[in-house]
């Protein structure tokens, strides 16, 4: 008897739940069942605040808790219903460690939530001996408790898109806080009106606080940003501008008939010259000497990158880009046309050198989540999983 009491006290310290005592410990195969009782016989009425000990009925529920030493743990909890004579109301005792109607402790749900973020619903289901619907339901329950109603103070936003399914042309729009490197919204559309409808749900003071929005060169973004973020400057992302130039350069490379094939020629041309080591520079020279047109195109690409690196203000940037456009017209026809059409918003980069670069890391993380989940059939599930990783 004394040994049992000591064991119960030890387990009470181990599970560390307020206001409860362990009455018995039963072990069955790989599970531990803890019969709990309460230290106090009286509780405060939630309606009037007066304490009452008049018990109306008790029913026992079984609740899953955090594992102990790799073993499943179930709590047998008496759910007590009281009657308050002062306000003549019946009420069920509220417990801090479990929500009404749930069959898992709050801390176990938090544990499952974090496990799903780190892996997948399917993997947690297998490892925790739960059903897919139980794991997904827990994840959704905790997400609802944690999710933010609005973004708070966001000064610099990034807008981008990712494919809903690999190989399909259906996209979702992702919105990120560039300063914090966090995803803050996922929208099931890449249509201007539908994106605006979601973004306009944010309070006006939140939208007015946005100073810059970094985007690619999709034509729908300017009107969208003017409508939703009245005080924001539109900044065409540097990465997308350089990509337009690099795509043109690679197209020129493909047109060259090389007498000597150089392995990795594409990457030598697209990589920044300053990042190449001596061996890479020698291989690059071997590539360039086979075509005057390719050499000129490569030098123009490096000149373009140098404008980004050294320019300090939008006006200087615009003048330098205009000079470059004149020199590059005969070689970079497609890229020149694109850059000319977006020149003002491209030069807004020099206001504070804002880029959508953090979106690269965010998008890679979102792609990993999609792979772990073997894709998402339901958009709301996808949105919840994406946002929970940044909550």
pLDDT in tens, 114-149: 999 888 888 999 999 999 999 999 999 999 888 887
> Are 384 and 139 contacting, i.e. CB atoms less than 8 angstroms apart?
yes
Token digits for 232? 């924001």
Pick out the chain residues at pLDDT < 50.
1-3, 5
Token digits for 311? 């320019």
Q: What is the pLDDT of residue 1?
A: 45
235: alpha, beta or left, given left = phi > 0 and alpha = psi -120 to 50?
A: beta
**329 Cβ contact partners less than 8 Å away, ≥ 6 residues apart:** 336
The mean pLDDT value of the chain amounts to: 90
Token digits for 349? 């980069």
> Are 213 and 196 contacting, i.e. CB atoms less than 8 angstroms apart?
no
Phi and psi torsions of 226, nearest 5°:
-60, -35
Q: What is the pLDDT of residue 246?
A: 96
Q: What is the pLDDT of residue 12?
A: 74
Q: Measured over all CA atoms, what is the biggest interatomic distance in the chain, rounded to whole angstroms?
A: 98
- E strands, the chain, are 20-28, 31-38, 43-44, 51-52, 55-68, 71-84, 89-92, 156-163, 171-177, 182-187, 212-215, 233-236
CB-based contacts of 196-201 (< 8 A; 24+ apart in sequence): 196/224, 196/227, 196/228, 199/175, 199/224, 199/228, 200/227, 200/228
Q: How many CB atoms lie within 10 A of CB 77?
A: 23
Q: What is the pLDDT of residue 3?
A: 45
- Alpha carbon distances (Å) from 160 to 207, 240, 364: 18, 11, 13
């Amino acid at each position: 008897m004394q040994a049992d009491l000591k064991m119960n006290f030890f387990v009470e310290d181990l599970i560390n739940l307020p206001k409860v005592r362990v009455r018995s410990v039963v072990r069955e195969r790989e599970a531990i069942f803890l019969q709990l009782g309460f230290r106090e016989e009286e509780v405060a009425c939630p309606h009037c605040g007066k304490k009452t000990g008049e018990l109306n009925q008790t029913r026992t529920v079984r609740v899953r808790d955090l594992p102990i030493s790799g073993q499943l743990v179930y709590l047998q909890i008496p759910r007590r219903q009281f009657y308050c004579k002062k306000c003549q109301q019946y009420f069920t005792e509220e417990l801090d460690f479990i929500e009404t109607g749930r069959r898992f402790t709050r801390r176990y749900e938090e544990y499952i939530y974090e496990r799903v973020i780190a892996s997948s619903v399917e993997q947690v289901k297998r490892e925790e001996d739960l059903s897919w619907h139980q794991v997904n339901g827990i994840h959704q329950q905790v997400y609802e408790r944690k999710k933010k109603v609005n973004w708070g103070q966001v000064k610099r936003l990034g807008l981008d898109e990712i494919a809903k399914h690999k190989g399909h042309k259906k996209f979702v729009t992702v919105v990120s806080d560039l300063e914090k490197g966090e995803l803050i919204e996922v929208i099931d559309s890449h249509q201007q009106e539908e994106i605006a409808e979601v973004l306009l749900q944010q309070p006006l003071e939140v939208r007015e606080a946005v100073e810059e929005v970094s985007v690619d060169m999709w034509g729908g973004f300017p009107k969208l940003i003017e409508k939703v973020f009245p005080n924001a400057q539109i900044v065409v992302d540097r990465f997308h501008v350089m990509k337009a130039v690099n795509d043109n350069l690679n197209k020129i490379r493909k047109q060259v008939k090389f007498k000597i094939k150089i392995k990795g020629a594409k990457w030598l041309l697209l990589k920044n010259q300053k990042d190449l080591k001596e061996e890479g520079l020698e291989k690059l020279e071997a590539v360039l000497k086979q075509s005057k047109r390719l050499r000129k195109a490569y030098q123009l690409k490096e000149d373009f990158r140098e404008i980004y690196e050294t320019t300090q203000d939008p006006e200087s940037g615009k003048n330098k880009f205009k000079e470059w456009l004149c020199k590059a017209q005969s070689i970079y026809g497609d890229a020149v046309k694109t850059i000319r059409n977006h020149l003002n918003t491209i030069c807004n980069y020099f206001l504070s050198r804002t880029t959508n670069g953090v979106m690269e890391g965010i998008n890679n993380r979102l792609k990993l989540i999609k792979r772990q989940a073997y894709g998402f059939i339901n958009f709301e599930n996808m949105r919840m999983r994406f946002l929970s990783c940044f909550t």
